[in-house]
Amino acid sequence: MRYSHWEPVYEQILDDFGFDKTGDETARDVLARLVEPFDRDRLDWDGKTVAICGAAPTLPNELDRLDAVDVIVAASTAADVVRDAGYDLDLMVTDLDKNPRTAVELTEGGTPVAAAAHGDNIPAIRKWVPKFETDHVLGTTQASPVGPVVNWGGFTDGDRAAFIADELGASRLVFAGWDFDDPAVDAAKAEKLQWAARLLRWLERRRDEEFSILDGRRDDIEPLP
């Protein structure tokens, strides 16, 4: 995705949450000094079915969806669930807020981690990213891309994972461990989940594909450009 396509959506996110773009840009610049350009050719997912694993409590009961996919991507703590169940993970997507040690272990074993920078996680970036094996880190931002830090779209770890898969050529996206109405989350997280739904609806329109996790709510989602 070109940043010019993402930027109007990003501006809406900033307005909705009252976020400061400067904070995102500062975090991006911190991350850019800690990572190297990532060799995206090693994640050639052209024509492949990619599972996007979210961290909802339903994930353990939906792991059978991973049996018929080519690539497994996990957001945040979903990485632990997937690994504990014996599945090989192809990419973890994280903003380092819950299980950064898992991200460190994955990079040490050669599994790529997409680390996101935003205004609230600068201390975590400074603490954890230097512990990663540099060759296995994809730096990402929701602000404009700079140097080795890319922006392929996405806001939460989960929907960012879907946008990354789209960028890398996935022919079909399969979802496990998603709950947009999770009653256990706080108000801020609930709003982020609604934005995740909006972004996935936008992505499925761009891909001319329908994601099963949006069935029953698709017509009620406010469209994005």
Concatenate the DSSP letters of all residues of 70-137 into one string: SEEEEETTHHHHHHHTTPPPSEEEE-SSS-HHHHHHHHHTT--EEEEE-TT-HHHHHHHGGGS-GGGE
Average pLDDT estimate for 145-172: 98
Token pair 């998603």 is found at 178
Average pLDDT estimate for 168-192: 96
Say what the pLDDT of residue 59 is.
98
Cα-flanking dihedrals φ and ψ of residue 51, to 5°? -90, 130
Average pLDDT estimate for 145-166: 98
Say what the pLDDT of residue 176 is.
98
Say what the pLDDT of residue 225 is.
79
Distance CA(96)–CA(121), nearest Å, equals 8
Provide the pLDDT confidence category of residue 206 given band limits of 50, 70 and 90. Answer: very high
Residues in the chain: 225
Amino acid at 98: K
Amino acid at 138: L
Q: Which residues contact 124 (CB under 8 A, 6 or more apart)?
A: 95, 96, 97, 100
Distance CA(140)–CA(30), nearest Å, equals 11
